[in-house]
Structure 1
């Protein structure tokens, strides 16, 4: 069916504007962390927020108050988990994982590459985008918890102790 009547369109328009306003207010109240660069946990929350907003807009069975509560609950849970992850290391590891070193002192760590499901070509592409033409020019390549690859150039090489927090699985 193409048209169910003006009442349905009017409801979608009014509830949509109000639900969107509620979501924006809740996101602003929850702080910048909610809108920061996403890891897997943040992506899940974002998808859930979008799905909830769509349900509020399109389902007559969900009242605006119920939808606002659902949005608030998702944002509160995200806030609570990130608050805990700053204070409890085990929560942080559970929610975001840990960075993983894929290349160290010009040597690709094949076990770590396999574990992370990252190809050598992807590491080489990250090196090229950082202006390096060869793996020997890199001190380290790290798979960050948000899925991005960080390249530490040999010339900018930090002390090995500053990379200590990065798990070096797969060496050898």
Structure 2
């Protein structure tokens, strides 16, 4: 139960190698994939954790090996968080940079395609922000955590009637509505 089948440092090294490798794999998949956990993503994470388990513990199921790996993974995560908090350059490498998806109503489709963001994902975020048309959007930003932040144009309506009327009912074009 407590006896290790390999030296303790091998478990630390294995844990760091797997942690780093999985982190790079997840980083390469794109911000949106990490930020929005779909049922497919959940299954992937569960299967992925099972796939790398033996690479970390080398078949050793002892309590000691499990504790060494747990401490190693938590320490690696803490170190990564500390480095990203202290170094802007390291933060950009580890987490990436926010990307502008929409600016003044113009959608950057090539960026959405590269980050694997669907029109439905974008429209859902815009609706949550209270946007009825793409023209309402000053800027929509894909954050480093995969969420989409939306800043809307804040213009006062010209007349009380405009304030009361909804753009949904004014016949806005399908491509413009969200």
TM-score with structure 1 setting the length = 0.53
User: Is residue 102 of structure 2 the alignment partner of residue 103 of structure 1?
Assistant: yes
Separation in 2, partners of 1:65, 1:125 = 47
The within-5 A match list for 1:72-151 is 72-151=71-150
Displacement after TM superposition at 1:68 (Å): 0.7
Deviations 1:88-140 (A, max 9, x none): 22321222111111001111122322322223332122111222111111111
Q: Give me the CA root mean square deviation.
A: 3.2
Paired with 2:94 and 2:154, the residues of 1 have a C-alpha distance of 33
Return closer, same or farther for 1:67/1:141 CA change in 2, 3 Å cut-off: same
Give, in whole Å, the separation in 2 of the partners of 1:126 and 1:104: 14
Q: 1:75 to 1:51 in 2, by over 3 A?
A: farther
Displacement of 1:70: 0.4
Q: Which runs of 5+ in 2 are unaligned?
A: 2-30, 38-44, 156-178
- TM-score (structure 2 length as normaliser): 0.52
Q: What is residue 154 of structure 2 aligned with on the other side?
A: 155
CA distance 1:69–1:103, shift in 2 (3 Å): same
Count of aligned pairs between the two proteins: 110
